[in-house]
């Protein structure tokens, strides 16, 4: 949606209320952490070289479409006089195959398949392993040398 035009497929412009855009941005950022479809789309955009802000704006556009769709379906149910149906229309989390899932399942899928940069860095950071030669040379260069017992224990583990 762009300014006064409601056609689908329009690019996001700088027109519109800043507070609205800020809240959609924040909601889209949260959605990528809890909705598998949003996390998947975010991952695709980032792998294509898009900046985080560009990807979140694209997700915001997706989120607006979903919100509008839910509101329209509720209005249609209410207009037809089906109050019960209108109450059951809600936002549902789904996996990539379209199966409805719980919040916990969605979060588990996202953490497993779409880890954040911090989580990736934690996985990539392996514990430091030194060879016996490196341990001996580093202990010589240190101001505080290890005791002979501690050095022998470390070397025995290697």
Does residue 152 belong to any structural domain of this protein? Answer: yes
The whole model's pTM is what? 0.64
Does residue 12 belong to any structural domain of this protein? Answer: no
In this structure, the answer to whether residues 136 and 112 fall within a common structural domain is no
Give tens-digit pLDDT for 48-85.
999 999 999 999 999 999 999 999 999 999 999 988 88
In this structure, the answer to whether residues 45 and 80 fall within a common structural domain is yes
Does residue 67 belong to any structural domain of this protein? Answer: yes
Average pLDDT of the residues of the chain: 80
| Total domain count, the chain | 2
Give tens-digit pLDDT for 110-126.
999 988 766 666 666 65
DSSP label at residue 93: -
In this structure, the answer to whether residues 90 and 152 fall within a common structural domain is no
In this structure, the answer to whether residues 96 and 54 fall within a common structural domain is yes
Q: Which residue has the higher pLDDT, 16 or 75?
A: 75
DSSP label at residue 128: P
What range defines the domain where residue 147 resides? 127-158
Report yes or no: 57 and 32 within 8 Å, Cβ to Cβ.
no
Report yes or no: 47 and 7 within 8 Å, Cβ to Cβ.
no
Does residue 4 belong to any structural domain of this protein? Answer: no
In this structure, the answer to whether residues 56 and 106 fall within a common structural domain is yes
In this structure, the answer to whether residues 46 and 98 fall within a common structural domain is yes
Confidence of residue 1 (pLDDT cuts 50, 70, 90): very low
Residue 104: pLDDT above 80? Answer: yes
What value does the mean pLDDT take over residues 99-111? 92
Q: How far apart are CA 90 and CA 105, in angstroms?
A: 18
Spatial CB neighbours of 11, under 8 Å, sequence gap ≥ 6: 2
């Amino acid at each position: 949606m762009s300014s006064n035009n409601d056609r689908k497929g329009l690019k996001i412009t700088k027109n519109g209320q800043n507070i609205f855009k800020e809240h959609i941005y924040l909601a889209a950022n949260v959605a990528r952490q809890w909705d598998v479809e949003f996390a998947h789309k975010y991952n695709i955009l980032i792998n294509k070289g898009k900046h985080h802000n560009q990807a979140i704006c694209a997700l915001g556009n997706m989120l607006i479409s979903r919100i509008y769709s839910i509101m329209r379906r509720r209005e249609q149910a209410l207009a037809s006089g089906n109050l019960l149906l209108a109450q059951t229309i809600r936002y549902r989390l789904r996996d990539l195959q379209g199966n409805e899932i719980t919040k916990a399942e969605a979060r588990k899928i996202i953490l497993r398949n779409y880890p954040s940069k911090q989580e990736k860095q934690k996985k990539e950071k392996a514990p430091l392993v030194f060879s016996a030669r490196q341990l001996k040379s580093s202990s010589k260069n240190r101001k505080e040398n290890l005791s002979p017992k501690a050095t022998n224990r470390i070397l025995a583990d290697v």
